[in-house]
Amino acid sequence: MGNSEPVWGIIGGTGLTAIDSLMVDDTLETETVWGAPSAPLRIGRLGGRKVVFLARHGDPHRIPPHRVNYRANIEALRRAGVDRIIAVNAVGSIHPAMTPSSLVLPDQIIDYTWGRAPSFHEENLEHAVHVDFTWPYSESIRDALRAAAAEVGVACHDGGVYACTQGPRLETAAEIRRLEQDGADIVGMTAMPEAVLAREAELDYACLALVVNWAAGRTSEVITMDDIRSNLDAGIGRVLQVLEACLRAD
């Protein structure tokens, strides 16, 4: 769109359907060739930078992970002029050091989803399209988030493997043991195909993950929504601190 100023996109996950400190200038309801995005785009400024915010699960939160229209979401952000995206994802922890309410900057993904539209390049093609996905997350955005976390004194685990499962149910203890054997550190339901669609759209993309529970079988307790909400409440303020510091520094 010819913007001289970089435009950041923020995709809010569970617990982040709005950013109170975002100074909203416009709210855009839009359609794409893939359908409507999860929610209207909120366009404004955060940390002194132009930001387009999108609630991944809708506002109010109503769309389960396997029914999110990831293609429409990424396309709507691209058409709004976004050239870099920070995705906020709520995850469970497999790694003992990644405790509930802590933040993680994953650097890898293993995709266990099925039946989701995985690409923009599926029909009416002149040739098959393949994108390199060796490193699924933008290192420059990860660097910026890491520096922002250090600036505001928020501990953030640097690196980790995000296992993306289908949902909407949580995993069994046996499934978590399998994911651990595969090398996964955290588990969630929304990393894919969002990350690869951003790559296809040539948008820089990285994930800021908030741990909201121990994964199944990591403790003797059952996972409850009350515990997840409690960890969301405990950690979401730190997520916002890091986001604002990252954008101020850009």
* Residues tagged in the binding site annotation for substrate: 189, 213-215
Extract the annotated binding site. Answer: 14, 56-57, 189-190, 213-215
Sign of CA dihedral 153, 225, 136, 244: negative
Give me the helices (H) in the chain, please.
70-79, 139-151, 173-182, 194-200, 225-249
Strands 108-111 and 84-93 turn out to be unpaired
Q: Could you tell me the two tokens for 236? A: 């979401």
CA angle 118, 121, 124 (to 5 degrees): 135
CB 195 within 8 A of CB 164: no
Extract the annotated binding site for phosphate. Answer: 14, 56-57, 190
The counts of H helices and E strands in the chain are 5, 11
**Rounded CA separation 96/214 (Å):** 9
